[in-house]
Amino acid sequence: MNAVPLVALVGNPNAGKTALFNALTGARQKVGNYPGVTVERHAGRMALDDGRPIELVDLPGTYSLDPSSPDEQVTRDVVLGKQAGERLPDALVVVADASNLENHLRFVLQLRQLGRPMIVALNMIDMATRDGLTIDADALSAALGVPVVTTVAVRKRGLDDLRAALAGVLLGSRPAAPAEIESDIRHFQREARRIAADAIVEQPGGRAFTRGVDRVVLHPVAGPLILATVMLVMFQAVYAWSEAPIGWIEGLQGWLAESAAAYLPENFLRDLLIEGIINGVGSVVVFLPQILILFFFILLLEATGYMVRAAFLMDRLMSGIGLSGRAFIPLLSSFACAIPGIMAARSIDDPRERLTTILIAPLMTCSARLPVYAVLIGAFIPAISVGPGIGLQGLVLFGLYVAGILGAIAAAFVLRMTATRGKGGGFMMELPRYQLPSIRDVLIGMWQRAWLFLRRAGTIIMGVTVALWLLASYPVAPEGVKQSEYSIAGRVASGLEVVLKPIGFNHEMSLAVIPAMAAREVAVSALQTVYSIDADADEEGQALGAQLAARWSLPTALAFLAWFVFAPQCLSTIAVARRETNGWKWPIVMIVYLFAAAYVFAGITFWTATALGL
Ligand SMILES: Nc1nc2c(ncn2[C@@H]2O[C@H](COP(=O)(O)OP(=O)(O)OP(=O)(O)O)[C@@H](O)[C@H]2O)c(=O)[nH]1
Ligand SMILES: [Mg+2]
């Protein structure tokens, strides 16, 4: 064999394929305790014990070779060698959850019919043991006619055996292809039950813990209360825990700006460095602690298995608007960023429901909005307590998230009545066992988010901010004229201001929303940059929040917040929506309805707040 052998990881959702992939290749693909984490193929390199390289592909989980959703289609095509530009895998590693053997065996049996070299990785054997389940792997191997290796992917256990077994099957032993091809799912069901019963040596009640917890967490009254409490705690923590680290970053930023001012000669570069980069980009980076706290919670929810329960609780509510709880997970991941959220919609089988989910995903409050919200809340909402442990700032932040969700519900409702009319699918999702989150995984997840955010700050946010600084600094205004109005950027903003003035936007806001199309956070750095450029000597170095509080009225600030709840201020999201819907039609629908909603709601907010005399 010349080419590097290709091995594919397949199996039911949430079996631990990606965990195994990461353990074998050293990759850091996303792992989570809910079905549908992986929605596209990922390839990596691993080596057998004799050093021979292998190309390993991780695939989306699927229950059978009859795909019902776009992500499952990928798996089927790769396994059957029908994927364009990809070889037929030389061997399959079928990952099965040992504590859910009967269900997972069905797919193993269907795959065995292909007559391809394969091994079964009986994963999560630790969980099976915890449940008091004992499985005879040799008996299972004999019954299936393929090698069976027990593994604990998250603890890297069983990998040596797996590599040895893989070396064996790659050398040529393959399962005897059955005489007749079965396609009746009930046949697999019966076979799976029989083989599982033979292989399981001991099986007590099992899953007692998970069932006990679920009795409370899924309770019709207690369940939603718990969910609301979890969310509230999360938003309180974003404020309560971030104060000190934000102070450190601000301290560092101030020190950098002062040092640059003290040591660099007064020229163009010094202004660019201080006003554009240190203050501009710094005004965004300051929010790193809050973003990390938010992700800490999201990662915990994903890893423990609570996420799917939340989806389950939301299902009834969502079916009212023609979506199932299935859509909840892509929507929840959109809290991080709409891009993975829109991609996660691949796990939804009903095409109309999937499209609806894609179209409303940008309404979920992504982490790029957090800096915008946080700076305005910090400037305009007093940090007072409104109840035991409940601060007003956290409550307002929670309210903005809720506003996005309500907007999404309304949009889904309208879409399901019109453009994507149709019946919603039912909620069919396995409830995974509760797991203790691995601290390492949570830390890696947070590190990845931090890195992603800082990279964004150092590239796109910095690039756009510097470009804006240039456009806002030139041509130099004559004495007595405001630089931010005289400059190129200022003149463009004046044009836009005509449209935005009725909803309470001022000149700086009009100036900030254009570059913020590249990335929402730029709205913050743009405002900071404009104020730095215009600053009098006594305002120089003032924090952005203080400047906003001094210059904007409360209705104006609220209108800006309302705008950011709805406005599709993100080119990458639009690009991904185009890719996922294969055309421009739906992204354009998305842009139009979101901008219209942003305009209308910012206007309503402004006029209501003004009428109330705020
Ligand atoms: N206790 C235990 N947990 C595991 C093991 N392998 C994976 N997990 C956990 O099981 C969950 C699912 O793991 P993933 O690797 O994301 O599963 P997957 O098969 O890739 O799932 P999809 O991508 O959704 O198809 C995660 O919470 C993992 O941490 C294991 O051997 N033991
Ligand atoms: Mg996966």
- Mutational test site, ligand 1, from 39, 100, 107, 435, max ligand atoms within 8 Å of CB: 435
Q: Whose CA is nearest to atom 9 of ligand 1?
A: 16
Q: In the prediction, which pLDDT does 307 show?
A: 86
Instruction: Give the ligand at the shortest distance from the Cα of 130.
Output: 1
d(CA 61, CA 75): 8
3-state secondary structure of 20: helix
What type of residue is 179?
A
Q: In the prediction, which pLDDT does 77 show?
A: 92
- Mutational test site, ligand 1, from 20, 28, 31, 94, max ligand atoms within 8 Å of CB: 31
Ligand 2 centroid vs 70 CA: distance in angstroms? 15
**Of 559, 577, 459, residue with least CA distance to 504:** 559
Phi-psi region of 435 (alpha: psi -120 to 50; beta: other; left: phi over 0): beta
Q: Which strands make up the sheet holding 91-97, listed edge to edge?
A: 42-47, 53-58, 6-11, 91-97, 118-123, 148-150
Nearest ligand 1 atom, CA 39: 23
ipTM of the complex as predicted: 0.98
Ligand 1 centroid vs 17 CA: distance in angstroms? 6
Q: Whose CA is nearest to atom 14 of ligand 1?
A: 16
Ligand 1 centroid vs 220 CA: distance in angstroms? 28
Q: In the prediction, which pLDDT does 62 show?
A: 92
Instruction: Give the ligand at the shortest distance from the Cα of 432.
Output: 1
Q: What is the DSSP letter of 80?
A: T
Q: In the prediction, which pLDDT does 443 show?
A: 92
Q: In the prediction, which pLDDT does 204 show?
A: 67
d(CA 147, CA 144): 8
CB atoms within 10 A of CB 161: 17
Instruction: Give the ligand at the shortest distance from the Cα of 306.
Output: 1
Ligand 1 centroid vs 76 CA: distance in angstroms? 20
Place of tokens 């590693």: 93
Instruction: Give the ligand at the shortest distance from the Cα of 107.
Output: 1
Ligand 2 centroid vs 88 CA: distance in angstroms? 20
Q: In the prediction, which pLDDT does 177 show?
A: 57
Nearest ligand 1 atom, CA 303: 27
Nearest ligand 1 atom, CA 302: 27
Ligand 1 centroid vs 307 CA: distance in angstroms? 14
d(CA 161, CA 177): 24
Q: What is the DSSP letter of 157?
A: B
Nearest ligand 1 atom, CA 62: 25
User: What are the tokens at 557?
Assistant: 């600030």
Q: In the prediction, which pLDDT does 181 show?
A: 63
Domains and CATH numbers, the chain: 6-203 (3.40.50.300), 222-612 (no CATH)
Ligand 1 centroid vs 550 CA: distance in angstroms? 51
Scanning 10-85, the segments in alpha helix (DSSP H) are: 17-25, 70-79
Q: What is the mean pLDDT of each run of 10 residues along the chain (614 residues)?
A: 84 95 94 88 92 94 88 91 86 93 90 91 91 88 93 94 92 60 75 81 71 91 92 84 89 91 88 87 89 90 89 80 80 87 88 92 92 92 86 90 91 88 68 87 90 90 91 85 87 92 94 92 91 72 84 94 94 93 95 96 96 88
d(CA 302, CA 305): 6
- Which secondary structure element, helix H or strand E, spans residue 54, and what is its range? strand 53-58
- Exposure of 252 by Cβ count < 10 A (0-12 exposed, 13-18 middle, 19+ buried)? middle
- How do strand 390-391 and strand 385-387 relate by DSSP bridges? antiparallel
- Mutational test site, ligand 1, from 14, 159, 299, max ligand atoms within 8 Å of CB: 14
Nearest ligand 1 atom, CA 125: 31
pTM: 0.84
Instruction: Give the ligand at the shortest distance from the Cα of 71.
Output: 1
Ligand 1 centroid vs 124 CA: distance in angstroms? 8
Nearest ligand 1 atom, CA 305: 27
CB atoms within 10 A of CB 248: 11
Ligand 2 centroid vs 8 CA: distance in angstroms? 12
Nearest ligand 1 atom, CA 157: 31
- Exposure of 94 by Cβ count < 10 A (0-12 exposed, 13-18 middle, 19+ buried)? buried
- Mutational test site, ligand 1, from 72, 97, 108, 124, max ligand atoms within 8 Å of CB: 124
- Exposure of 186 by Cβ count < 10 A (0-12 exposed, 13-18 middle, 19+ buried)? exposed
Crossing angle of helices 288-304 and 369-380, in 10° steps, is 120
User: Pocket around ligand 1: residues whose beta carbon is below 6 Å from it?
Assistant: 13-19, 31-33, 35-38, 60-61, 123-124, 126-127, 152-154, 303, 435
Give the count of alpha carbons within 13 A of 370, CB side only: 24
Beta strands in 63-140 (DSSP E): 91-97, 118-123, 134-135
Q: In the prediction, which pLDDT does 133 show?
A: 85
Which positions ≥6 away from 526 have C-beta within 8 Å? Answer: 280, 464, 465, 468, 511, 512, 515, 516
Instruction: Give the ligand at the shortest distance from the Cα of 98.
Output: 1
Ligand 2 centroid vs 31 CA: distance in angstroms? 6
Instruction: Give the ligand at the shortest distance from the Cα of 430.
Output: 1
User: What are the tokens at 146?
Assistant: 């393929």
Q: In the prediction, which pLDDT does 178 show?
A: 56
